[in-house]
Homo-oligomer: A and B are copies of this chain.
Amino acid sequence: MTQTVVESKTKTAIIGFDQPFCVIGERINPTGRRKLAAELEAGDFSTVEKDAVAQAAAGATILDINAGVVYNSNPNPNETEPPLMRKVVELVQGLVDMPLCIDSSVSGALQAGLEAAEGRPLLNSVTGEEEKLEMVLPLVKKYNVPVVAISNDDTGISEDPDVRFEVAKKIVQRAADFGIPANDIVVDPLVMPVGAMATAGLQVFALVRRLREELGVNTTCGASNISFGLPNRHGINNAFLPMAMAAGMTSAIMNPVALPIGPKKLDEKRAELAAAGIIVPDDIDPEVLANITGMGSTQPRAGKEMEAIRAANFLTNNDPHGANWIQFNKPPVKAGEAEAGARGRRAGGRRRRA
């Protein structure tokens, strides 16, 4: 059974055919998060700290660390990203003892992350591009770490799954030339948005099966890509993840945390309740209001995708006796939480139809 071992100082995460699905938390990444990027340039790491703790609490197995901020004060990431990567890695591993995934397109940042990370981090990523292969594989060999291999090359991303399979095969072979075993390669077959490519889902399922059966490698993907541009994205993601797991996918880079209910949503709900003649005390605990109206929580909590993954772990016989499933489905009760809130969440939340 193929196993990819990823370690923090004291914790081990195994990505494998006979393991629970490995959730690589994607939140610590300033790409497309301008507020976070500005915070990081300003030396404010409070959001990173919150994201690390929330993803760990939601059930992530590995935390991806991307420090790709383009500083306003200095447009050269080769100068700015390595020290920032080192800083974020040290901060996160000081906060949560979890295996990390060092994520950068900048060689110096990958190196800095590898130096700073304790244990055996996952490197993210290499592709079939010559320049990338020559830049990343020596680092993978030198630091003896596993690596995410994305199946695009110098010709770009092919819409033909057979071409993407061949790219993955080439990377595995090139890695072997460096003495890197196949079980240290985690292939991302690339997930296209199903709204743009009707065969996107079928392509991934077929590719994952081939990668597992023919190359014996673990697989991962940016799971939310599948639902890009569609309504009710979570509805698509919640089906896609179990289907990919049924095909043999062993990990995903994703957000395990459900969006906390913010003041704006709570105000909208207050207005709806008022319009229905329901009177809410001005001083009500926002968490109680969010729980009792079935909105969710003002605190980060595991998203529905984590429920789908836990169910699929059970259905792929990677949750012995369903112990994890049963534990996960006990009604959560937070310390000091109002009883009404606890009841409200049970009535309005995940267990409503159970």
Contacts and interface: CB of A to CB of B under 8 A. Distances in A.
Contacts of A272: 292, 340, 343-344, 347
A173 interface: no
A43 interface: no
Interface centre among A247, A277, A321 (most CB of B within 10 A): A277
A246 interface: yes
Interface in A279-337: 279-281, 284, 288-289, 292-296, 303-304, 307-308, 310-312, 314-317, 320-322, 325-326, 329-330
A348 interface: yes
Interface residues of A, number: 78
Given A276-B284, A284-B276, A344-B272, A194 B315 contact: yes
Interface in A226-261: 226, 230-236, 238-240, 242-247, 258-259
A325 B201 CA distance: 15
A350 interface: yes
A99 interface: no
A281 B278 contact: yes
A310 B321 CA distance: 30
B279 A325 contact: no
Contact of A348 (B288, B295, B320): B295
B195 A322 contact: yes
Given A232-B350, A316-B202, A293 B293 contact: yes
19 contacts: A202-B316, A231-B325, A232-B325, A235-B307, A235-B308, A235-B311, A235-B325, A235-B329, A238-B311, A239-B315, A243-B312, A258-B353, A265-B347, A269-B347, A276-B292, A276-B344, A294-B295, A296-B353, A303-B353
